[in-house]
């Protein structure tokens, strides 16, 4: 697309206030949106009645559950909410946030012009050196990136910002980066293979498998145990963990697995507590069409009988807070709601490690039991 075409496309974008998604853009398209945002700002300042407009940003409060429905899809949209908030230079409590948006857009312009990509951590140190009064902590950078994404309606990856990935994969999967040797994820040891934070690279991976299942594991320690036991030799599977709440790169990698091998059922292995269910929901609803199947997740209420009573733990205020947030979400499906209700009414939770009461090799037997339960043998 020529520069003029990019400019006109961006002008049409900013004239449409009903858009509720973020595009996946090329560097040239992202630069065009930044330039139009600046021109719009200057146009207002130079008008006969100059004023500084508010920045219309999508509301990311906990009450706005639609924000959770966001990441890459085959249609290249990241879905965002319809509800808006603002950043204003005229309000004392929002003035610095207003300035941060423009400073970060300036930095993203430099990154895109140089055809580079940076992690959020690298971006923080650059902004800390250039504008310490505005970016004293990583949190300020993270929040401003979200502001810019919701102002320009494009993904952070489109702005040259890579996801920092904690994800690991192991098991019956061969993957190959462009012009690189094939990696056998079954031969990477108990540490597994590190999932790249470069979403463009993840998109270009060549994937092959003879697995029959995908198992998404909440905890790194459980992942290591299953890899050390080479559970994927007994249960032909691909094992994936994000070491807790999933980052964007791990979620996208699972999305790729799901789309490349749509016949593979995906199981979640998480604690029976509100946080475990929240992690599952992040995988499931955080990526449209990712394919994490309903009902097939870790421990459930009827599994509590498998562990001794003394292994159950009382719910803490944080657990109740997470449960309340999940219950208020319109996207939470009914069977998840039933599990949450069971947890809250019983006032107890259970961790996957409690299953070791039945022996250190029990997790593999437990997974087989679940696969049989859902008729996938």
Q: Please, are residues 188 and 170 in contact by the beta-carbon 8 Å criterion?
A: yes
Distance CA 326, CA 281 (A): 9
**Helix 274-286 × helix 248-260 angle, to 10°:** 60
Q: Which residues touch 366 (CB under 8 Å, ≥6 apart)?
A: 306, 355
Q: Please, are residues 361 and 229 in contact by the beta-carbon 8 Å criterion?
A: yes
What does the H/E/C string look like for the chain? CCHHHHHHHHHHHHHCCCCCEEECCCHHHHHHHHHHHHHHHHHHHCCCCCCCCCEEEECCCCCCHHHHCCCCCCCCEEECCCCEEEECCCCCCCHHHHHHHHHHHHHHHHHHHCCCCEEHHHHHHHHHHHCCCCCCCHHHHHHHHHHHHHHHCECCHHHCEECCCCCEEEECCEEECCCCCCEEHHHCCCCCEECCCCHHHHHHCEEECCCCEEEEECCHHHHHHHHHCCHHHHCCEEEEECCCCCCHHHHHHHHHHHHHCCCCCEEEECCECHHHHHHHHHHHHHCCCCCCCCCCECCCHHHHHHCCHHHCEECCHHHHHHHHHHHCCCCCCHHHHHHHHHHHHHCEEECHHHHHHHCCCHHHHHHHHHHHHCCCC
Is 252 designated active site?
no
Distance CA 33, CA 56 (A): 15
Q: Which of 125, 245, 356, 362 does the annotation list as catalytic?
A: 125
The residues annotated as belonging to the active site are 125
């Amino acid at each position: 697309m020529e520069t003029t075409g990019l400019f006109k496309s961006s002008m049409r974008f900013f004239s449409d206030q009903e858009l509720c998604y973020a595009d996946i853009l090329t560097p040239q398209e992202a630069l065009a949106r930044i330039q139009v945002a600046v021109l719009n700002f200057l146009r207002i300042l130079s008008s006969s009645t100059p004023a500084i407009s508010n920045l219309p940003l999508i509301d990311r409060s906990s009450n706005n559950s639609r924000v959770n429905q966001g990441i890459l899809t085959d249609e290249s949209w990241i879905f965002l909410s319809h509800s808006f908030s603002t950043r204003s230079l005229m309000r004392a409590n929002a003035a610095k946030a207003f300035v941060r948006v423009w400073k970060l857009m300036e930095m993203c312009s430099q990154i895109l012009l140089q055809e580079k990509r940076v992690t959020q951590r690298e971006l923080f140190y650059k902004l800390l050196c250039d504008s310490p009064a505005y970016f004293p902590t990583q949190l300020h950078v993270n929040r401003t990136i979200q502001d810019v994404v919701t102002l320009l309606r494009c993904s952070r990856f489109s702005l040259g910002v890579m996801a920092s990935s904690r994800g690991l994969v192991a098991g019956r999967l061969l993957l190959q980066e462009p012009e690189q040797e094939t990696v056998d994820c079954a031969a990477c040891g108990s540490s597994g293979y590190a999932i790249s934070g470069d979403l463009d690279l993840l998109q270009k991976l060549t994937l092959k498998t003879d697995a029959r299942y995908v198992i998404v594991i909440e905890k790194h320690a459980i992942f290591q145990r299953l890899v050390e036991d080479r559970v994927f030799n007994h249960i032909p599977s691909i094992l994936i963990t994000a070491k807790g709440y999933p980052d964007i790169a791990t979620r996208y990698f699972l999305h790729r697995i799901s789309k490349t091998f749509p016949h593979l059922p995906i199981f979640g292995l998480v604690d029976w507590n509100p946080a475990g269910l929240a992690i599952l929901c992040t995988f499931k609803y955080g990526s449209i069409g990712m394919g994490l199947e309903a009902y097939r997740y870790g421990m459930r209420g009827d599994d509590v009988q498998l562990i001794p009573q003394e292994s159950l733990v009382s719910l803490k205020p944080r657990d109740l807070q997470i449960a309340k947030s999940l219950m208020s979400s319109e996207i939470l499906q009914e069977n998840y709601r039933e599990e949450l209700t069971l947890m809250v009414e019983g006032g107890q939770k259970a961790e996957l490690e409690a299953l070791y009461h039945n022996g250190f090799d029990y997790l593999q037997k437990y997974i087989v039991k679940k696969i049989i339960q859902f008729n996938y043998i």
